[in-house]
Amino acid sequence: MKKTLITLLIFCGVIPQCLSQALKRRASFEAKILWPDNKTPGAKIDEIDEKSPLFEAGFKQGDIIVSVNDRSIVSGEDWSAATYRIRAYEETTIVVKRRTNKISKTLVLNPLPKEQNSNVDTFYESVTNDYGITQRVIITRPKGNGPFPAIFLIQGLSCSTIEKYSGRSNNWVRLIKDIAEKSNMVLVRVDKPGVGDSEGDCGKTDFKTEINGYEAAMRLLKSKSYINTNKIIVYGNSMGSALAPYFANKFNAAGIISDGTFFKSWYEHMLEIERRILEIEGKSQTEIYHLMNTVYIPIYYEMLIKKKSYAHIIKENPLFQKYHRHQPYHMYGRSVEYYHQVQDFNFAAEWERVKVPVRIRWGTNDWIMTENDNDMIIHLLEKSNHTDYQLYKYPKLDHWSTIHPDYSSSFNFKPGQWEDKISQQIIDWAWEIVR
């Protein structure tokens, strides 16, 4: 056994996938299920495939799923965590509410089909981070032997998968699809802990652990013989766009594409978001001034500077409950500890160190990120005598790769529109950098 382990280590070197455990495939409900509305517990079965194990077990359209494997479904966060943990071919216990009755069944679900891409080869691999969590990595590669340039994608902060599976059709997924199929480059994506097939719990994963998973995936990418390791581009979206300089600096990337980014501290960032939301909601400037001073500045100071949870803050200041937009120990599905570490991460310092080509995009209807943050990055690059950078302010684009007539349309989740230029610009920039 000892000899076998030594042989394995010699063969693998420092390649992380050699020591990764095989990941089990996540299951599919084979049904359309509506997310909890955060008003009443449960997720409603809206449509159901009559050939599915769910239907054959006796579940029906209209049933409200209130528990999965003993996890109560109260919020969207509960539903996301529960569904990502279900594995195909393993027993799953589901409890539903049907009118006044509760029905519990144990069944075995089928695997979610893997994504299909045209004109490229698709590989499902894995890495194990330094914390012992094995994460799903999806690689798309052009036909042929290479070596190919590569795009390393870092996504935003939400607990959503980077997998482009059948039936998932929002514009962020369309962007991924186009880059994978049309770029003629390798595209590497990694699912966060507790997301997709990955082990762990995204809602409990802190910022340092998440970064470490991306680092493991980058080492995997650089180990591939079909990659031109001198032509790896870091493409970051949302939170990933602010982290792109860190990864480019650490791994000597060829360039950075930063899509929907921020520059200031998370404390400043959240205050600016709250101000914009209050404006979208139609509050007067007098009201906004009052609420910022008496509610939001104190809340975020206590949370991000003093490192408290919302539950602790509201217990000390019950009047904040009326205005508080998040859960007791989470914000946007991530733990408060995650944001405590984000607050301590110096994004600006990484931008100051950047020497490689930089391409930045900001949509004029992005109510999440400010124009000023993007302008600050350009000013910093100019001051640092950087010579190869661009900032494009995309008309009417929002934070989720969608064209909207105004902030309010995006904020209220109106459908919006797609333009092929949204993805093509990223592809063109990537080739501009590596040529």
Cβ contact 158:333 at 8 Å: yes
Q: Read off the pLDDT of each residue in 32-52 and give the average, rounded to a whole number.
A: 92
Measured on CA atoms in the order 298, 270, 262, 227, is the torsion positive or negative? positive
Which DSSP symbol is given to 301?
Answer: I
Q: Across all residues in the chain, what is the average pLDDT?
A: 93
pLDDT computed for residue 167 by the predictor: 75
pLDDT computed for residue 12 by the predictor: 41
pLDDT tens digits for 163-215?
A: 998 778 799 999 999 999 999 999 999 999 999 999 999 999 999 999 999 99
Measured on CA atoms in the order 129, 131, 132, 133, is the torsion positive or negative? negative
Q: CA-based Rg of the chain, rounded to a whole angstrom?
A: 23
Of 166 and 381, the one with more pLDDT: 381
What residues pair up with 48 in beta bridges, in sequence order?
31
- 307 φ/ψ angles, rounded to the nearest 5 degrees: 60, 50
The pLDDT of residue 13 is above 50: no
Reported for 415-422, long-range contacts at CB under 8 A and 24+ positions apart, including other chains, are 416/171, 418/171, 418/174, 420/178, 422/171, 422/175, 422/394, 422/397
pLDDT computed for residue 196 by the predictor: 95
pLDDT tens digits for 52-76?
A: 999 999 999 999 999 999 999 998 8
The pLDDT of residue 156 is above 90: yes
pLDDT computed for residue 37 by the predictor: 86
pLDDT computed for residue 21 by the predictor: 54
Helix (H, G, I), strand (E, B) or coil at 27: strand
User: For residue 262, which of 408, 372, 425, 337 has the smallest C-alpha distance?
Assistant: 372
DSSP letters of 141-180? Answer: EESSS--EEEEEEE--SSS------TT--SHHHHHHHHHH
Single-letter amino acid, residue 88: A
Q: Read off the pLDDT of each residue in 282-297 and give the average, rounded to a whole number.
A: 97
Domains of the chain, first to last: 30-108 (2.30.42.10), 120-259+346-434 (3.40.50.1820), 266-343 (no CATH)
pLDDT computed for residue 169 by the predictor: 79
Tokens of 207: 């910022």
In whole angstroms, give the CA distance from residue 276 to residue 267: 15
Q: Read off the pLDDT of each residue in 148-159 and give the average, rounded to a whole number.
A: 97
Of 13 and 327, the one with more pLDDT: 327
Reported for 266-271, long-range contacts at CB under 8 A and 24+ positions apart, including other chains, are 266/304, 266/339, 266/342, 266/343, 267/300, 267/301, 267/304, 267/305, 267/343, 269/373, 270/296, 270/300, 270/304, 271/296, 271/297, 271/300
Tokens of 30: 């084979």
Residue entry with tokens 């032997």 = 145
Cβ contact 138:165 at 8 Å: no
Cβ contact 217:232 at 8 Å: no
Helix (H, G, I), strand (E, B) or coil at 121: strand
Q: Read off the pLDDT of each residue in 245-252 and give the average, rounded to a whole number.
A: 98
Tell me the whole-structure pTM to 2 decimals: 0.91
Give the model's confidence band at 10: pLDDT under 50 very low, under 70 low, under 90 confident, else very high: very low
Q: Read off the pLDDT of each residue in 127-143 and give the average, rounded to a whole number.
A: 97
Give the model's confidence band at 11: pLDDT under 50 very low, under 70 low, under 90 confident, else very high: very low
